[in-house]
Structure 1
Amino acid sequence: MITVPAGTVTLSDRRTQTSWSVEVAAFALAAVPTTQAQYAAVTGTHPSGAQGEHLPVEGVSWPDAVHYCNLLSEIEGLTPAYRIEGGTDDDGSGVAWDPAADGYRLPTEAEWEHACRAGTTGPRYGPLDEIAWYRGNSGERSHEVGGLRPNSWGLFDLLGNVWEWCWDVYDAEVYGTYRVLRGGGWFDEHWSCRASVRRRSHPTLRIDDLGFRVARSVPLPHVS
């Protein structure tokens, strides 16, 4: 886990041609996407199509990711960040987030983009071939996490390799319970692997280039 400093990020949506600024508090974010070994250790399952302990877990829905976060929190004696209300989490509509909880959770899309940019203002935090597995260099498959250059805050694979689930509903009025995806994946062209790109999907989607990474609302203690 890496402490991401507080800051302000401007999000934009190409469909509606709108932009908005969000204040982001300091938080902790995993340095890499959740791996298959980590997922199996917590859930006892191996959902991914391409198998490899250090490959990012994929083939996981948004509720799968939420369930993982709560299980990991319980294992580590932390307060789970999510409550299931209304008796179901099948489409994510019954999931409530407790912002005061110290357990693991999915990042908001503002947190994700702020962490991805790491203080930069361009479309990417470095040359694409040095930082991301995408269609141009991936061989059309996922790769072990952490193998390419991180951003200046020590975060790997925020662009490319697998798309990452975020907490946010994309646009409830238009798309209902669809959730935000960020980052681009190993099968995507270069234009999809940019810090500002927003995608959406139904929470039940399970596909071979979509995973997640965990966050916590509590920053790590400062070590001088």
Structure 2
Amino acid sequence: MDVTAPTRLIAVPGGRVTLSDRRTSSRWTVDLAPYRLAACPVTREQYAAVAGDRRPADSVSWYDAVRFCNELSRHDGLTPAYRHHGEEVHWDRAADGYRLPTEAEWEHACRAGTDGPRYAPLDEIAWHRGNSGERPHPVGELRPNRFGLHDMLGNVWEWCWDRYDPEVYGDYRVLRGGGWFDEHWSCRASVRRRSHPTLRIDDVGFRLARSIAG
């Protein structure tokens, strides 16, 4: 896999974010240290070395995304964040390599200091069923949030590190953000979705994160 395309990461300040789950009517608060998050989802150009194709990489499983993070880390001379033992994946939190954001990091970055369902009017920031023509679009075309992050809502759902209610769903992982085929109510900062880490489907992708040492 050619992973030579540059990745622009934006420093996200630490803070506190409150997450919620409508299914269980639960809420929980997470304190976050500063971290870095990619300005856009990983593109097909980055993922599959398809020259000129800046649509977000899709049909990427959670395991695929984790492997890509490690491969790009090695390419860039960084310590891979993940260790594999069969289907078990362990996160080395001291590593400086690329990784998936946690669910709390994702929502904190998406909100960028706002507290509503979206950080701006939906059609200005997101490709969804009402404006996408039912297809993905090149990343970075629409308005970013206050942190400078594009496509946090719409275009493709994004894998996060976290398991979704593991006592009920086992290894299912969290997806955030909504996608190009979703109705407007799915493209909100708080919406959570789940799927098995082997899922590959055409409206699911991911974006890179890195921890900040010290």
Within the candidate set 197, 219, 222, 2:191 is matched to: 197
The answer on 1:132 being equivalent to 2:126 is: yes
Length-normalised TM-score, structure 2: 0.94
State the distance in 1 between where 2:140 and 2:67 align. 24
Read off the aligned partner of 1:205 and give its amino acid letter. L
Read off the aligned partner of 1:122 and give its amino acid letter. G
Read off the aligned partner of 1:27 and give its amino acid letter. Y
Percent identity over the alignment? 73
Within the candidate set 114, 127, 130, 1:120 is matched to: 114
Q: Deviations over 1:102-157 (max 9, x none)?
A: 00000000000000000000000000000000001000000000000000110000
Within the candidate set 149, 171, 182, 1:155 is matched to: 149
Q: Describe the SS at the equivalent of 1:104.
A: coil
**What does residue 89 of structure 2 align with?**
95
**What does residue 28 of structure 1 align with?**
36
Q: Deviations over 1:42-86 (max 9, x none)?
A: xxxx7xxxx96100000110000000000000000000000012x
Length-normalised TM-score, structure 1: 0.90
State the distance in 2 between where 1:20 and 1:95 align. 25
Q: 1:52/1:173 Cα in 2 relative to 1: closer, same or farther (>3 Å)?
A: farther
State the distance in 1 between where 2:36 and 2:42 align. 14
Deviation >4 Å, runs of 4+: none
Map residues 25-104 of structure 1 onto 2, 5 A cutoff.
25-41=33-49, 53-85=53-85, 88-89=86-87, 94-104=88-98
Within the candidate set 166, 169, 174, 2:163 is matched to: 169
Q: Describe the SS at the equivalent of 1:66.
A: helix
Unaligned runs of 5+ in 1: 220-224
State the distance in 1 between where 2:42 and 2:33 align. 23
Q: Describe the SS at the equivalent of 1:9.
A: strand
**What does residue 5 of structure 2 align with?**
none
- Paired residue total: 205
Q: Describe the SS at the equivalent of 2:185.
A: helix
State the distance in 2 between where 1:205 and 1:84 align. 18
* Per-residue deviation, 1:218: 1.8
Q: C-alpha root-mean-square deviation of aligned residues, in Å? A: 1.2
The answer on 1:217 being equivalent to 2:211 is: yes
Read off the aligned partner of 1:213 and give its amino acid letter. R
